[in-house]
Amino acid sequence: MSAICGVIGNYARRPTAEAELSAMLDALAPRGPDGATTWHAPDGAARFGFRWLRTRPDEHNPGIAVSGDGNLAMACDGHVFGDDGTQSVAPLLERFAARGPEGWRGLDAQFGLAIWDRRRGRLTLARDPLGVRFVYYWSSSDGAIFASEIKALLRHPAVTRGHDEIALVHYLVFLTTPGPRTLFAGIRRVPAGGAVELGPSQGAGEATEQRWWDLLDNAVDERDDEKYYVNRTRELHQAAVRRRTVAGPIGALLSGGNDSSSNVVLLSRQGASPLHTFTVGLADFEGDSKYNDLHYARQVAEYAKSQHHESLLSTDEFLNIIPQTVEAQDDLVSEPSSVFLFHALRMAKDQGLKVVVTGEANDELCCGHGGMVAIRDGYKARWQPLMRLPRPVRGAAAALAPLVTPGRSDVLRRAADDGEYFWSYEVAWAQSLLPSVISPELWARCQAELPETIVARNRRRFDASGHAKRDYLDYMIYAMMMDNYFGNLMLSKLDLLCSRLGLEPRCPFTEPAYAHWVYNVPAAFKSRDGWVKYFFKKSIEGVLPHDIIYRPKQGFRTPAQELFAGRLGTWARPVLLETGFTRLGLLRRDTLAALLDAHQRRERDHSTKLWTAMVLNLWHTRYIESKA
């Protein structure tokens, strides 16, 4: 993992510009501890900074790349993974010079980059197709400021600290802030598979955004041919793992499930040595089959002959890690598994590793959650017949729902409004419930851009694609892969927790050709014979033992429900009721108190809502109230 930052326009010409760039680089030191480089345009219109993490013994600091004619300069956090084992950034600059962002199609790469075009006086910020690496920016009439992490932007005196009210409301639904907004007012996130172009005197509202890659592009014709899909999936998966290995020690997170386990075995077979694997659990739940995969992880580690490391956190250790994860995640997500992930990554750091292979993306792309099939079946059995009723009838049903069937009030309200059935795989508060947890004033101010606008945006893209008439599961997976779920909730926590420890995550399942291919596998092969992720299980037969492939799924699950009923509930109470947005009056103290009380009486599981509000208040204390 490396890091980039920079300024253009008047920000680059200030007498203090070099010192301000240096301060930004200092904030990124954990991400790139092995050296720093700066560059400035001859005319002073742009300044770039780069920090480097050495991932291989023979690797050299790529610094700031400049085109042969001197026109283009690029700072890049990332790599292009070559079939010959090379890992470089040069193809990104070469292809951009020839074709712009479209030139990056066909590359197996993970990157966040900035390119300055001297002749045009334009800055391009871009991210890889799935968004493994991140870039954020702030812009005004004085120019633009960018960095790999928000905490570096906050080091620049022109960037103010304040919260974005629209993003706050979106976060309470989606557990993250769908881009381009972040929780910080004025700070924007470059979209995955996207490029943003800025000039030296251009505000954020005038930035030009281009989506150069999308899962929906070039829909693959569907076939009733299982072997066709299985064989190609196997081929792409093995190639993606091979290209992401390094000479020397390498680590892999190992839950004992199919995704992480197949990666580990393939790394071993491809000669990764020494190969370290890591598994984490909670001591209080040792032996609980709902949360503990240690037995299966040990079995896979033994099969792969890895050097296996496992750790059981005490509840005290779990509580102590929560603020550390919030400190790392300036682009906040609500995900309790961040605690386990951070501890597993710290174990990798303690072994002296620099690269960690993970299993992100495959569950979403391949339909790895049984709940996805249940939602799709509910859409067909209940939603479609409901939507065939006249709108006045649906409106009457929605009006009666709070009295007759309160649990279905939100879905019936969406039906009455001609809304969308599926929003995201996990939400905290449904949009219709937001007035119960935020102030009336905040609710009134957010009416122009409610969370439903994010859902509608995703649906418009889908309906304009070649997938529009396919199984509803195709829409669900696409919606899950957007940055209101996978693209930020899953990848942001991985990026920021790794960067805090000077580690580079590599995710074989985000390889663009693999991701595009498995997304296009027909729904009939994603769920079959009672198995989710059916075609992928078939593709790893011969890689993993049969009893590992065909076992109940778990992963790094966190017992938040049980913890909030006990010590976490006690620990979180003052955070929920006395700090952050609650203290500001934007979150309703009475609602949060009632939710926590009901949860601790075990009347109903409110753990997702409680965690979402708890870390949000911790974030406000750390990043808005604190100037450190």
Condensed to tens digits (0 to 9), the pLDDT of residues 342-383 reads 999 999 999 999 999 999 999 999 999 889 999 999 999 999
- Contacting residues for 22 by C-beta, under 8 A, at least 6 apart: 38, 49
Q: Are 137 and 154 in contact (CB under 8 A)?
A: no
The separation between the first and the last C-alpha atoms of the chain, rounded to the nearest angstrom, is 24
pLDDT confidence band for 519 (50 / 70 / 90) = very high
Whole-number pLDDT of residue 289: 58
Query: Which of 552, 424, 554 is CA-nearest to residue 478?
Result: 424
Whole-number pLDDT of residue 402: 86
Q: Are 482 and 232 in contact (CB under 8 A)?
A: no
Asked, for residue 219, whether it belongs to a domain, the answer is: no
Q: Is the pLDDT of residue 279 over 70?
A: yes
State which of 146, 179, 211 marks the end of a domain.
211
Whole-number pLDDT of residue 30: 97
Asked, for residue 216, whether it belongs to a domain, the answer is: no
Query: Which of 383, 381, 413 is CA-nearest to residue 397?
Result: 413
**Rg value, the chain, Cα:** 24
- Residues 224-274: pLDDT tens digits? 999 999 999 999 999 999 999 998 999 999 999 999 999 999 999 999 999
Question: Do 141 and 91 fall within a single domain?
Answer: yes
Residue 449 CA to residue 438 CA, distance in Å, equals 15
Asked, for residue 585, whether it belongs to a domain, the answer is: yes
Q: Which residues of 123-133 are buried (b: 16+ CB within 10 A; e: fewer)?
A: bbbbbbbbbbb
Query: Which of 150, 130, 189, 117 is CA-nearest to residue 5?
Result: 150
How many angstroms separate the Cα of 578 from the Cα of each of 54, 310, 440, 590, 592? 44, 37, 19, 11, 11
pLDDT confidence band for 18 (50 / 70 / 90) = very high
Question: Do 147 and 236 fall within a single domain?
Answer: no
Q: Which residue has the tokens 């100037």?
A: 627
State which of 529, 549, 569 marks the end of a domain.
549
Q: Provide the domain limits for residue 587.
A: 560-625
What is the average pLDDT value for the chain, to the nearest integer? 94
Question: Do 259 and 392 fall within a single domain?
Answer: no
Asked, for residue 220, whether it belongs to a domain, the answer is: no
- Residues 120-144: pLDDT tens digits? 999 999 999 999 999 999 999 999 9
Query: Which of 329, 342, 334, 341 is CA-nearest to residue 623?
Result: 329
Asked, for residue 378, whether it belongs to a domain, the answer is: no
The whole-number average pLDDT for the span 205-215 is 90
Question: Do 82 and 147 fall within a single domain?
Answer: yes
Question: Do 19 and 67 fall within a single domain?
Answer: yes
Q: Are 9 and 143 in contact (CB under 8 A)?
A: yes
Q: Are 507 and 360 in contact (CB under 8 A)?
A: yes
Residue 344 CA to residue 578 CA, distance in Å, equals 31
State which of 211, 240, 265 marks the end of a domain.
211
Query: Which of 590, 558, 591 is CA-nearest to residue 429?
Result: 591
Q: Tell me what percent of the residues of the chain surpass a pLDDT of 70.
A: 97
Question: Do 581 and 463 fall within a single domain?
Answer: no
160, burial (CB in 10 Å: exposed 0-12, middle 13-18, buried 19+): exposed
343 CB neighbour count, 10 Å cutoff: 21
Whole-number pLDDT of residue 484: 84
Whole-number pLDDT of residue 424: 94
Residue 225's φ and ψ, nearest 5 degrees, are -145, 95
Q: Is the pLDDT of residue 203 over 80?
A: no
Phi-psi region of 193 (alpha: psi -120 to 50; beta: other; left: phi over 0): left
Question: Do 529 and 575 fall within a single domain?
Answer: no
Q: Which two tokens stand for residue 250?
A: 């390498």
The whole-number average pLDDT for the span 400-418 is 90
Question: Do 336 and 464 fall within a single domain?
Answer: no
Question: Do 517 and 572 fall within a single domain?
Answer: no
Strands (E), 52-163: 65-66, 72-81, 87-88, 109-117, 122-127, 136-140, 143-147
Q: Tell me what percent of the residues of the chain surpass a pLDDT of 90.
A: 89
Q: Which residue has the tokens 């995955």?
A: 192
Q: Is the pLDDT of residue 204 over 60?
A: no
Asked, for residue 542, whether it belongs to a domain, the answer is: yes
Three-class secondary structure of residue 327 per DSSP: helix
Type of residue at 142: D
Residue 10's φ and ψ, nearest 5 degrees, are -60, -30
Whole-number pLDDT of residue 553: 63
Asked, for residue 218, whether it belongs to a domain, the answer is: no
Residue 81 CA to residue 245 CA, distance in Å, equals 10
The order of strands in the sheet holding 355-357 is: 307-313, 275-282, 250-253, 355-357, 504-506
Asked, for residue 221, whether it belongs to a domain, the answer is: no
pLDDT confidence band for 117 (50 / 70 / 90) = very high
Q: 450-453 long-range contacts, Cβ below 8 Å, gap at least 24? A: 450/169, 451/169, 451/170, 451/173, 451/174, 451/423, 452/419, 452/420
Whole-number pLDDT of residue 284: 86
Q: Is the pLDDT of residue 22 over 60?
A: yes
Q: Which two tokens stand for residue 554?
A: 């778990």
Domains held by the chain: number: 4
Question: Do 360 and 475 fall within a single domain?
Answer: no
Whole-number pLDDT of residue 202: 66
pLDDT confidence band for 60 (50 / 70 / 90) = confident
Question: Do 265 and 177 fall within a single domain?
Answer: no
pLDDT confidence band for 612 (50 / 70 / 90) = very high
Q: Is the pLDDT of residue 512 over 80?
A: yes
The whole-number average pLDDT for the span 162-182 is 97
Q: Which residues of 572-608 are buried (b: 16+ CB within 10 A; e: fewer)?
A: bbebbbebbbbeeebbbeebbeebbeebbeeeeebbb
Question: Do 17 and 99 fall within a single domain?
Answer: yes
The whole-number average pLDDT for the span 90-116 is 97
242 CB neighbour count, 10 Å cutoff: 18
Q: Are 556 and 337 in contact (CB under 8 A)?
A: yes
The whole-number average pLDDT for the span 15-42 is 97
Q: Is the pLDDT of residue 556 over 60?
A: no
